[in-house]
Each structure stands twice: as structure tokens, then as C-alpha cells.
Amino acid sequence: EVQLGESGGGLVQPGGSLRLSCAASGFTFSSYAMGWVRQAPGKGLEWVSSISGSGVSTYYTDSVKGRFTISRDNSKNTLYLQMNSLRAEDTAVYYCAKGSEKQQLVYDYWGQGTLVTVSS
Amino acid sequence: EIVLTQSPGTLSLSPGERATLSCRASQSVSSSYLAWYQQKPGQAPRLLIYGASNRATGIPDRFSGSGSGTDFTLTISRLESEDFAVYYCQQYVSSPRTFGQGTKVEIK
């Protein structure tokens, strides 16, 4: 059974940093692209970043480029999102998601999310 | 950046009725790289459709997707109680892989 579990969210002051982790199990982690999608309170979904199975290729939405870094440790079956220079508008539930079997650019399994709150 | 506009914002229907949701892209989504997701309150999204018309594993056949270019449609042939939720389209032909703003399907 595929399982994704995010951790690392919490309250942080503007300008601060957080590192989110996503522990994966139930599939061959290194064979699949992974991504982060966020949802601000009461708002819609926003794609944040994605990474190829090997970790070589990474992609970001414009608003986080230069501030967030996606990475993965295939030996630990874990996905990360390092978030620096956090802003109030980064407040959201952050979901990690797995690329699907037939089309790795869409996400067929999602974690339950971790809440990041940026506030003084 | 490709902007996706979903309509209507809210759809009020009764169980058993047909739901038709629209997703319009600001530029062509080539190779039909468009997906649909369902999200219920307090839950993570669920993949319904990829490649504009392919149902994801385990998705009932009352859900169907169609369209190409800039105009895409998600149809739910007969609404069941568990289908009342918010639906999002997403393009993945180019980065950033944008989502639409969502359509809420609510019970009339």
C-alpha cells in the first residue's frame, strides 16, 4: 500500500526557514517523480515544485524560485522541501504527492498534508 | 504561464443529475496534458482523469473527461452523494503546472 507522510510544518516568523519531509513507502521510490502542492486556507490548489525520480531535474513555480529547494534521498525513501525567506503568503497546507504509474507528471497518491503558518 | 479558468464556480445539482464542468486554458494544452482532481473537505485531492480523457485507477465510469486544445470538460453522468466536492483541473504540459481555481459541486 502506498503511503506518504509529511512532517516538519509549524509556525515560523516571516523571513524564517522550515524543512518539510515526506516519508514514502509501498512503492519503488526512486522510480517515480514526486512533487509538492500547497493550499492556502480556504483557497485552491497551487503546484509548488517537482523532482524527477533520480533527483536530477527539478521544477518550481515562480513565486518560490530562489527561496525553496526540493530534494530527495532515494536511500531513505524521503522527499524534502527546504523553505527559506518565508513570507505570509507561503502559509498553507503542503501536500507531497507521487507521480502516477502511467503519467508521472500527474499525482495519483497524496499525503494528508502539513500546515505551515508564517506569522509574527 | 498557462492560466486555467474553470466554470461555473459553483454547480448546484441533485443526486442522479448530470454535472458538466468546464476548464478553459489561456493557451493550447498540447498532447492533452490535462488532469482532473476531486477534493473533499479536510481531505487530500484525488486523481480522477489524466491525459484529458483517461480515468485513473479505481475511478468509476460515471466520470469522463473530454476536450483538447484550450477547452476541456469533466462530466459526471449521474451524481452520487459522494461526488459532492470541489473539482480542479491541472495542466502539466509546461512549468509551472498550474491548477484551475476549482468548481464546487454542491447538493441542491
pLDDT at A56: 96
Alpha-carbon torsion (A88, A92, A96, A102), positive or negative: negative
- Distance CA(B58)–CA(B78), nearest Å, equals 17
Q: Please state the rounded mean pLDDT for residues B46-56.
A: 96
pLDDT at B31 > cutoff 80: no
Please check whether residue A25 is in contact with residue A77, taking contact to mean a CB–CB distance below 8 angstroms.
yes
Q: Each residue of A67-98: pLDDT tens digit?
A: 999 999 999 999 999 999 999 999 999 999 99
Q: Between B34 and A105, where is the model more confident?
A: B34
Contact B90 A47 (CB under 8 A): yes
Interior/surface letters A62-72, b for 16+ CB within 10 angstroms, e for the rest: eebeeebbbeb
What's the average model confidence in pLDDT over B49-71?
Answer: 95
Identify whether the C-beta of residue B37 lies closer than 8 Å to the C-beta of residue A46.
no
**Do the strands A3-7 and A18-25 form a parallel or antiparallel pair, or are they unpaired?**
antiparallel
Mean pLDDT of A27-50: 97
Point out which residues pair with A34 in neighbouring strands: A51, A98
Torsion of CA A111, A35, B101, B9, to 10 degrees: -40
- Nearest beta carbon to residue A105 from set B44, B56, B92: B92
Q: Nearest chain A Cα to B96, which residue?
A: A61
Q: Please count the residues of chain A.
A: 120
- Residue B44 is predicted with a pLDDT of 97
Q: Rounded CA gap, A82 and A11, in Å?
A: 15
* Grid coordinates given for A94: 503542503
Please give the DSSP secondary-structure letter assigned to residue A14: T
Q: What average pLDDT does this structure show over A36-58? A: 96
pLDDT at B32: 82
pLDDT score recorded for residue A102: 82
* Interchain pair A45, B98: CB under 8 A: no
The yes-or-no verdict on residue A47 having pLDDT over 90 is yes
Mean pLDDT of chain A: 96
Hunting for cell 469533466 — which residue is that? Answer: B74
Residues 6 or more apart whose CB falls under 8 angstroms from that of B14 comprise B79, B107, B108
pLDDT at A101 (0 to 100): 84
Q: Would the CB atoms of A107 and B51 count as touching at under 8 Å?
A: no
